Structure formats: structure tokens, C-alpha cells
Amino acid sequence: MKRRTALALLATPALAHAQPAWPQRPIRIVVPFPPGGSNDVVARPLAEKMQQRLGQPVVIENRPGAGGSIGAGQVAQSAPDGYTLMVSSSSFAASAAIQRTSYDAIGSFDTVSLLARAPFLVLTNRNFPPRSIQELVAYCRARPGEVDFASSGPGGINHFVTELFALRAGLRLNHVPYRGMPPAVTDLIAGHVPMLITTMASASAAIRENRVRLLAYCAPGAPPGSPPAPLVREATGIDYESSIWWGLLGPRGIPAEPLRLLSAAVAAALAEPEVARVYEAEGATPGGSTPQHYAEVLRQDIARFREVAQAANIRLD
């Protein structure tokens, strides 16, 4: 009897410190933009496959507003227990370069994994004289300050990547901001603006129907079946590469075991053919990463976009 009592007392501390298996309740993935956008499209099939792996519901919650900063701020202030996450993208890094927020884009978050990438494309109106990326660069160099380019709005991701292209190529272009990408593509087709750098998801119909000219991809990684076009770097020798990425992150301080399980669930989800099909329809290729690699990508992009913001005087007044 005394021996059983002693063993029970010895076991008590271990039981007191034992942690229940994780997760014990539903996981929430915040999408800081409205339903139907690219972050939302990336998040939904991911959540479906992650919940199969983790054995708990993974729920998408759209929290749009202020260019994504409202949702990001809510995630940054959440408990760092792995139950609140966010799908971010390159737009998160672009906003961090110019926008004052309640959070630190690096210090307030733990990165989990990259999810996918999609190259940006250089598009022109069909009647615009340049017929190749080499001709476009030469044409713009010969006409500094005379060539317009469209964007989805001031400080948006495609504003940044176009200004980066101009910076690396030694060009001076005029920015024509629109209220979103659809009107920018419409005016590109109509010839009201000659040039646009955007993603396949934003312009696939116009490209497929031959209503715009695809001059080049800004980075490798176009999905199978994408229209042929050269890479900017290979065709021109310009040190320029730009793609949009999506990634999963959470509030700073997620414990090691939940972070490991989340990373494994993401990797398993990205290996599913159904996820690849959805992402490829967005012009993206699925691809995971370690938390450390994603953190480095985020740091590099914020630094790069700050350089562009200073050179091109991009700011949100």
C-alpha cells in the first residue's frame, strides 16, 4: 500500500506538467481582405486539407479593411497559441514599407510557411508600338517621363513592382492609379493606358482572348499550360525579378509543438492535387517552406519595397 502511494506521488508532478494534445479546438485563419480575392482563394482549399490532417475544424474568417491592416492587427493581438492564423501575401510586405500600423510586420508575427507564388507579367495594349520586352525597355528609355503605367491603386503591390522594374531598368514612367485591378485591365485593353504589370489571375481572360500583349514574365514559376513568354531578366539582362507570394503566419510566440504541427499540416495540404488545381487557376504554383525561410522572404521584401518607396516617393497621405 505504501509503495503504491509513493509511486502515485512520484507520478503527480509529471501529470501536472503534461500538456494535452494540440489542437483541442477549431483553428481560425483570418483573411484580411473580402471574400473572392486571391488571399481568400488561397486560404479556403488550404483550410479544408489542414483540418483533415489536424482533426479539428479550420475556419476562414474575412476581416477586410485598411489595406489588410485591420485583420493583421487583430491577429497580432491574438493569443499566440496557434489557434489564430492569417494568410498574408506580398501586399502585406508592401504595406509594411509605407503604412503606419499598430503592429510590426516582422516583430509581431511568427511565420509558419509560404504557400504559393505567382510571377508578375508585363502586359501592353495591342496597339502600343513595342512588340517585345526588349523593345519596351528601349522605347521607354528613349521617352523618359512620357510612358504611363496602370496600377490597382497607390501603394499597391503592382505599383511597387512596376516602380521596381523602372528603377532596375533605369526608366522614368508615369503612374496612373485605378480603383482596383479590373478597371486598370479594362483601360489597358481600350488603349487608355499602354502598360500594366499584374498577375495571370487578374488578366487571364484578356490574355487568352488576345486583347492584350504578354511581353514577359517577371519571374519563373508560371503553372503548366501558361502562355509562352520570356523572363525579363533573361531577355534583357536587367537585374529584376518579381512574383507575388502567399504565406501563413500567426501572432508572435506560438509554442514549438503547435508550430511544428501547423507546418506539417500545411506541407501535407500543399501536396494535394486539389489544392494545386485551385492555385494553378490563379496562375500560382503551390510551394511550402520552413518558418525561417518565410521570415527571411518577408524581411527581404519589406527592405526592397522600402527602397522602392524612397526612390519613387511612394507614400500614403
190-205: per-residue pLDDT in tens? 999 999 999 999 999 9
Q: Is 24 exposed, middle or buried (0-12, 13-18, 19+ CB in 10 A)?
A: exposed
State the pLDDT at residue 18.
Answer: 53
Domain match, 41 and 106 both: yes
> Would you say residue 153 has pLDDT above 90?
yes
What are the pLDDT digits (tens) for 51-76?
Answer: 999 999 999 999 999 889 999 999 99
How many CB atoms are closer than 10 A to CB 66?
13
What's 164's domain CATH number? 3.40.190.10
What's 279's domain CATH number? 3.40.190.150
> Which domain range does residue 164 map to?
118-236
Going by pLDDT thresholds of 50, 70 and 90, the confidence category of residue 317 is low
Going by C-alpha positions, the residue among 288, 277, 289 that lies closest to residue 224 is 277
- The number of distinct structural domains making up the chain is 2
How many CB atoms are closer than 10 A to CB 308?
22
> Would you say residue 15 has pLDDT above 50?
no
Do residues 252 and 109 lie in contact, with contact meaning Cβ atoms separated by under 8 Å? yes
Going by pLDDT thresholds of 50, 70 and 90, the confidence category of residue 109 is very high
Opening angle at CA 87, ends 197 and 300, nearest 5: 60
Average pLDDT over residues 103-117: 98
Do residues 180 and 171 lie in contact, with contact meaning Cβ atoms separated by under 8 Å? no
Domain match, 156 and 265 both: no
In a domain, 141, yes or no: yes
| Domain final residue pick, 236, 257, 278 | 236
To the question of pTM greater than 0.85 for the whole model, the response is yes
Do residues 58 and 50 lie in contact, with contact meaning Cβ atoms separated by under 8 Å? yes
